[in-house]
Amino acid sequence: HLWERDCSTQRRHQKLLEESPSPRLPQETREAMTSAAVRLAKAAGYYSAGTVEFIVDKDNNFYFIEVNARIQVEHPVSEMVTGIDLLKQQILVAAGEKLSLKQEDIVPRGHAIECRINAEDPSANFRPCPGKIEQIIAPGGFGVRFDSHVTAGYVVSPYYDSLIGKLIVHQPTREAAIETMTRALRELQVKGIATTVPLHLDLLSHSAFHEATIDTKFVERLLAE
């Protein structure tokens, strides 16, 4: 396994921000969850990339939700903290090759955060914002990654998912990752359509996020303030 991702920052069950490692998960719970996920995969005979989802209550009891038998949107978070190319490994396994990885070699390093950049207007109840992207300038620098399929002139369709990019950062500590993500979001320029960048900046600046006291209703509470 490649450890865990925390996806508490969501709206209407749609993830907005993911991070790894989970900032408040006790090591005992972390090890129990990853062990349960591995046992489930072995029992099902599952051999490709997949994600086992759990929900954790305030007492750190965890409950199974589902298995996503695919590469998920937030896979770069795991890649950044482990240094493992998940897409490459998935293709190799599909081609019939055996994994060359051993669990003791998969050591998480530092902290990674991903923000999903959507073509939506947070100030207008997340109204979809299809249209032509006049200009897009991606941020850069140490520990910054931007995965996107769009370029200047690209037309965002109203008929498909509003995701236009994933901004990922990786730093030695969580606070450093928050600082780098804040800087990267401010550097990201998308002209022609509205995006969720302003919301991400609000999330990252909130004291509850810095203190890691958030839950799955955090975004709803923030929007109600």
Among the options 12, 24, 30, 70, which is catalytic?
A: 70
Q: Is 94 exposed, middle or buried (0-12, 13-18, 19+ CB in 10 A)?
A: exposed
Concerning whether 127 is annotated as a catalytic residue, the answer is: no
Task: Return the residue matching tokens 């949107």.
Answer: 73
Which one, of 145, 154, 225, lies nearest residue 190 by Cα?
154
In whole angstroms, what separates CA 191 from the centre of its chain?
24
> Can you give the three-state secondary structure of the chain, one letter per residue?
CCCCCEEEEEECCEEEEEEECCCCCCHHHHHHHHHHHHHHHHHHCCCCCCEEEEEECCCCCEEEEEEECCCCCCHHHHHHHHCCCHHHHHHHHHCCCCCCCCHHHCCCCCEEEEEEEECEEHHHCCEECCEECCEEECCCCCCEEEEECCCCCCEECCCCCCEEEEEEEEECCHHHHHHHHHHHHHHCEEECCCCCHHHHHHHHHCHHHHCCCCCCCHHHHHHHC
Q: Which two tokens stand for residue 94?
A: 């599909």
Active-site residues, by number, are: 70
